Chains A and B, each alone.
Chain A
Amino acid sequence: MQRLSGIGVSPGIAIGRAVLLRQHPLVVRFPVKAGRVDDEVARLERARRLSEEQLREIRAHVARGARELEHLFDAQILMLQDPMLLSRAIEVVRREHVNAEWALQRAFELLSEIFDEIADPYLRERRGDIADVVGRLRMNLGYGRAAGRDLFRDVEDGSLLVADELTPSMAAQVDWTKFGGFASDTGSRTYHTAILARSLHVPAIVGLSEASAQVRPGSLVVIDGSAGELLIEPTDEEIEGVRARAERWARAQRSREQYRSMPAVTLDGVAISIQANVELPDDLLVAQEYGADGVGLYRSEFLLATIPPDALNEDVQFEAYRSMVERMAPAPVAVRTFDVDEEQLASWPRGLEWETTASAARSRGPLGLRAIRLSLARRDMFRTQLRAVLRAARHGRVRLIFPFVSGIEELREAKVVLKEAADELAGRGEPVPQVPVGVMLEIPSAAVTTDLFAREVDFLSIGTNDLIQYSLAVDRTDARVSRLYEPLHPAVLRTLRLIVHAAARHGTPVSLCGEMASDPVLLPLLVGLGLREFSMSPSAIPVAKQVIRQVRADTMARVARAVLRMATVAEIERFLLASLGDAAPQPSDDGPPPEPQPAKGAP
């Protein structure tokens, strides 16, 4: 038996036969007779065509939840057409009379050398994208059977994939119903493929250095994604030990799943509402499966990702909202009006790009004409959306949220438009239901005037992603300052306390949406700060429920009071982790195993 250590990037244990994937074979150079040069060029052209077809198919079918991968494949398709890659390889074939593989490798090496000189680490990493494209081209230079889903068609179910490198485009093509896990020589925790593995609940290890050279195809291997270990040809005795561990892990996993259907109630009996953030209507399925108490934030602008603005008329919007409201009933759906800027509205028909731009730039951006500001500048568009929302409210419980409000005037103006929309419906003889109205507190100016808003809205919603970055003046996508983006900054915590107190004084309900709510360490503190309603990405819900059921609200209130007196993030974090360690009940044998707490920022 042999044991290799790597980085476990997706937990779980799998035992199975190894299937090997090597994208980096040795490339040999051989001379091509003058009369065969055109054949080699034709092979390159064919490989380009096949690769482009595959990438287009991949882009169209990228796994849900991995939508950010789409722009990556867009760039890869452009690379295939790029004169610096294949055209250069063709030149090499014609000039040196060599085989296509070698010419391709030469073109790649030339590019790599230039890329390696780039100082900017982000741009330098794009070399990996070119490597992915070149790997695919090389595969397609092979004879016929080549790439794609066919590659693993005859694989036995439950096989384990061992690869030298599993690039995003290859990972997207693998039929994961056949594989119980994967291990690769390269990669890191933040690698796209690692993210994909976690979303598929497939055990995975990366960074194994030479696993693909050590494992023989068809041999028995164990992938322990929790320990980050790959066992090659273990003895019967070892297999038994592994099976016992796998069993324990599966049992613990099942107990985690149970939390889905359990109410989120703290040990001292405080009920917490856990709702879902939804972008596309299909997210509802996940939200329901994970036991969401409602949709706390429906990002309606994602309609624009699939429907051009011109076509997004009242009826189309109404149908979209109605189906969501009906499916969620009797639980409520909070529709946030469009949070877009002018360019996003104008950039159609590049719908795909719109979407990737929107999600990647989510927390960035100039403080310009966007969200409620744009809606108020485009009254027709705004009224159309409001009419559609009001009509949908006849089919279930709807709440309305105005995004990016900076002052009370904007709220009042938006309410005037809402009244106009209601009058228009009434004028058509249609019934007009009452819809609760709220604002997103995501601009510091709105947060510090929560009391003013609390008097004039039915509910409040805190958008922590923006609130943190505008409170701290930090662009978290800028690697040079992103470490300053800190949810535990005393200013952030004090702002949250201010909001909760002001809302409570006026009896206005307040919920919190944003990534902060789905962090198992931060969530108990938020409960301690007095928050009782959260909205998060659907997949975070089971863990959030588990966390809530293991803490006491009164203990956390004491913790929060202590934390609010502390001066530094380090101090707060240490104290918080220590108090959570005491508060959490010890797991029994049948319960969840002691999970390493995701101690964010801690060494």
Chain B
Amino acid sequence: MTSRSVTIRNQLGMHARAAARFVHTASAFASQVWVTRGEKVMDGKSILGILLLAAGQGALLTISADGLDERAAVEALAALVDSGFGEMSCNG
């Protein structure tokens, strides 16, 4: 099993769009994925589970994966969280 700790950076936290991206990404891997926040452990491929972590900005999460591609899965998901879910500016 591979694990990594990450901090939620984007302002809105793990809202619906961010959670959807997380689940999309997690589902691309064969490994089982869990996300832990405090005592709550949720299935990383469940959008409801991710939403229920209620992870706002600054929340500390642990992403774990178990399976053949566990390392790639954890890296991809951690990168997604670190990037603030790509919520970049694009404006006029």
Please give, as numbers and ranges, the residues of chain A lying within 8 Å of B85 by CB-CB distance. Answer: 357
Instruction: Let me know if B91 and A362 touch, CB within 8 A.
Output: yes
Contacting chain B: which of A12-20, A24-32, A320-328, A338-346?
Answer: A338-346
Please give, as numbers and ranges, the residues of chain B lying within 8 Å of A362 by CB-CB distance. Answer: 89-91
Is B81 in contact with chain A by the CB < 8 A criterion?
no
Residue interface mask B71-90, A partner, CB < 8 A = 1 = 00000000000011111111
Instruction: Let me know if B16 and A126 touch, CB within 8 A.
Output: yes
Is A533 in contact with chain B by the CB < 8 A criterion?
no
Nearest-CB residue, chain A, relative to B85: A357
Please give, as numbers and ranges, the residues of chain B lying within 8 Å of A251 by CB-CB distance. Answer: none
Instruction: Let me know if B92 and A403 touch, CB within 8 A.
Output: yes
Instruction: Let me know if A75 and B47 touch, CB within 8 A.
Output: yes
CB of A371, distance to nearest CB on chain B (Å): 8
Nearest-CB residue, chain A, relative to B20: A75
Instruction: Let me know if B88 and A360 touch, CB within 8 A.
Output: no
Residue interface mask B45-74, A partner, CB < 8 A = 1 = 111110110101000000000000000000
Is B33 in contact with chain A by the CB < 8 A criterion?
no
Question: Which B residues between 1 and 59 are near A, CB-CB below 8 angstroms?
Answer: 11-17, 19-21, 23-24, 43, 45-49, 51-52, 54, 56
Q: Please pick, from A119, A361, A513, the residue contacting B54 in the complex, using a CB distance under 8 A.
A: A119
A172 CA to B38 CA, complexed, in Å: 39
Instruction: Let me know if A277 and B56 touch, CB within 8 A.
Output: no
A403 CA to B92 CA, complexed, in Å: 8
Q: Please pick, from B11, B20, B21, the residue contacting A477 in the complex, using a CB distance under 8 A.
A: B11
Is A366 in contact with chain B by the CB < 8 A criterion?
yes
CB of B85, distance to nearest CB on chain A (Å): 8
A195 CA to B47 CA, complexed, in Å: 26
A299 CA to B91 CA, complexed, in Å: 9
Which has the most chain B C-beta neighbours within 10 Å: A123, A356, A364? A123
Q: Please pick, from B14, B21, B49, B92, the residue contacting A123 in the complex, using a CB distance under 8 A.
A: B14
Q: Please pick, from B20, B54, B90, the residue contacting A365 in the complex, using a CB distance under 8 A.
A: B90
Please give, as numbers and ranges, the residues of chain A lying within 8 Å of B91 by CB-CB distance. Answer: 339, 362-363, 442, 463, 465-466
Please give, as numbers and ranges, the residues of chain B lying within 8 Å of A403 by CB-CB distance. Answer: 92
Question: Which A residues between 343 and 360 are near B, CB-CB below 8 angstroms?
Answer: 343-344, 347, 350, 353, 356-360
Contacting chain B: which of A80-88, A162-170, A266-274, A411-419?
Answer: A80-88
Q: Please pick, from B14, B17, B49, B84, the residue contacting A360 in the complex, using a CB distance under 8 A.
A: B17
Please give, as numbers and ranges, the residues of chain A lying within 8 Å of B48 by CB-CB distance. Answer: 79, 82, 84-85, 111, 130
A167 CA to B10 CA, complexed, in Å: 28
Is A514 in contact with chain B by the CB < 8 A criterion?
yes
Instruction: Let me know if A129 and B88 touch, CB within 8 A.
Output: no
Please give, as numbers and ranges, the residues of chain A lying within 8 Å of B13 by CB-CB distance. Answer: 120, 122-123
Q: Please pick, from A79, A120, A297, A353, the residue contacting B47 in the complex, using a CB distance under 8 A.
A: A79
Instruction: Let me know if A75 and B92 touch, CB within 8 A.
Output: no
Is A475 in contact with chain B by the CB < 8 A criterion?
yes
Please give, as numbers and ranges, the residues of chain A lying within 8 Å of B86 by CB-CB distance. Answer: 341, 343-344, 347, 357, 361
CB of A113, distance to nearest CB on chain B (Å): 11
Instruction: Let me know if B87 and A364 touch, CB within 8 A.
Output: yes
Instruction: Let me know if A84 and B89 touch, CB within 8 A.
Output: no
Instruction: Let me know if A299 and B92 touch, CB within 8 A.
Output: yes
Please give, as numbers and ranges, the residues of chain B lying within 8 Å of A120 by CB-CB distance. Answer: 13, 54, 56
Please give, as numbers and ranges, the residues of chain B lying within 8 Å of A363 by CB-CB distance. Answer: 89, 91
Given contacts A123-B51, A130-B48, A465-B92, contact A366 B84 (CB under 8 A): yes
Instruction: Let me know if B89 and A466 touch, CB within 8 A.
Output: yes
Residue interface mask A297-317, B partner, CB < 8 A = 1 = 101010000000000000000
Instruction: Let me know if B90 and A344 touch, CB within 8 A.
Output: yes
A539 CA to B41 CA, complexed, in Å: 47
A339 CA to B21 CA, complexed, in Å: 22
Is A491 in contact with chain B by the CB < 8 A criterion?
no
A85 CA to B91 CA, complexed, in Å: 37
A344 CA to B83 CA, complexed, in Å: 12
Is A43 in contact with chain B by the CB < 8 A criterion?
no
Please give, as numbers and ranges, the residues of chain B lying within 8 Å of A72 by CB-CB distance. Answer: 16
Is A336 in contact with chain B by the CB < 8 A criterion?
yes
Is A551 in contact with chain B by the CB < 8 A criterion?
no
Nearest-CB residue, chain B, relative to A535: B92
Is A497 in contact with chain B by the CB < 8 A criterion?
no
**Interface set of A (CB-CB < 8 Å, partner B):** 71-72, 74-75, 78-79, 82-85, 111, 114-115, 118-120, 122-123, 126, 129-130, 277, 297, 299, 301, 336, 339-341, 343-344, 347, 350, 353, 356-366, 368, 370, 403, 440, 442, 463, 465-466, 475, 477-478, 513-514
Q: Apart from A360-B17, A363-B89, A370-B89, what 8 extra A-B contacts exist at CB < 8 Å?
A: A78-B20, A78-B47, A79-B47, A120-B13, A122-B12, A339-B90, A344-B88, A360-B87
Give 10 pairs: A residue, B residue, CB < 8 Å, sorted on A.
A71-B20, A78-B47, A83-B49, A84-B49, A120-B13, A120-B54, A340-B90, A357-B87, A361-B90, A466-B89
User: 10 shortest A-B CB distances, which residue pairs?
Assistant: A365-B89, A361-B87, A341-B88, A78-B47, A365-B88, A84-B48, A343-B86, A75-B16, A118-B54, A358-B90
**Interface set of B (CB-CB < 8 Å, partner A):** 11-17, 19-21, 23-24, 43, 45-49, 51-52, 54, 56, 83-92
